[in-house]
């Protein structure tokens, strides 16, 4: 995909994420359809030995397909987005393989937009988690506080 199209796609993903049209979830917690589960990891050769960071990978349903956002790092202990590579992919319900829209490379514009999207998604998911915590009953909230202070 050419650079302008990739940038436009990422820009659209950012706008839709901000307006909550895309509902992102952590990939590890998502029940990916069997047809997709074997095919969404990138060929390791494409990312120079980087490994996928599970909690940093996200998925969002879009119409009949899935939007996938992968985070790669040379070390699983890395703190994304610092030092990490990213890949934005789209998977439909017919094709065997997902299509890569953009990934971290030498282009500063694409890299900065991917990092921007990662921060947005991470913030949305963190806020959603805080809301769930806020909605729990009084007993559960006390338990959580107690656990955190232990």
Partner 1 sequence: MSWITFGRIADALSIVSFVISLGIFRKIYAKAETQKEVYRIEREELLSQLSALQKNIWCDDLVSVKIQDQLQRAMYEYLQKYIFISSPVCIFHTYRCIHLLRVGLNESNSSKIRQDINYIMARLSKKE
Chain residues in the site for partner 1 (CB under 8 A): 14, 18, 81-83, 106, 108, 111-116, 119-120, 122-123, 126
Going by C-alpha positions, the residue among 39, 92, 93, 96 that lies closest to residue 70 is: 39
The minimum distance between CB 2 and partner 1, in angstroms, equals 19
For residues 63 and 132, give the distance between their C-alpha atoms in angstroms, rounded to a whole number: 26
Closest CB to partner 1 among residues 37, 119: 119
Closest CB to partner 1 among residues 95, 105: 105
The minimum distance between CB 101 and partner 1, in angstroms, equals 17
Q: Which residue, chain included where needed, has tokens 């030498």?
A: 106
Closest CB to partner 1 among residues 32, 120: 120
Question: Measured between alpha carbons, how far is residue 144 from residues 15, 52, 132 in Å?
Answer: 34, 30, 12
CB 14 within 8 A of CB 116: yes
The minimum distance between CB 140 and partner 1, in angstroms, equals 24
The minimum distance between CB 143 and partner 1, in angstroms, equals 25
Closest CB to partner 1 among residues 38, 109: 109
Q: Which residues have CB under 8 Å from 116's CB, separation 6+?
A: 14
């Amino acid at each position: 995909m050419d650079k302008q199209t990739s940038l436009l796609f990422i820009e659209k993903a950012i706008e839709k994420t901000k307006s909550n049209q895309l509902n992102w979830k952590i990939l590890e917690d998502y029940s990916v359809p069997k047809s997709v589960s074997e095919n969404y990891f990138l060929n390791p050769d494409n990312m120079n030995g980087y490994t996928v960071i599970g909690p940093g990978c996200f998925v969002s349903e879009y119409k009949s397909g899935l939007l996938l956002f992968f985070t790669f790092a040379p070390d699983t202990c890395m703190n994304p987005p610092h030092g990490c590579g990213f890949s934005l992919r789209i998977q439909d319900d017919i094709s065997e393989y997902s299509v890569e829209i953009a990934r971290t490379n030498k282009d500063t514009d694409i890299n900065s937009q991917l990092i921007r999207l990662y921060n947005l998604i991470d913030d949305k998911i963190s806020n959603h988690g805080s809301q769930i915590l806020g909605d729990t009953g009084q007993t559960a909230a006390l338990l959580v506080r107690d656990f955190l202070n232990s």
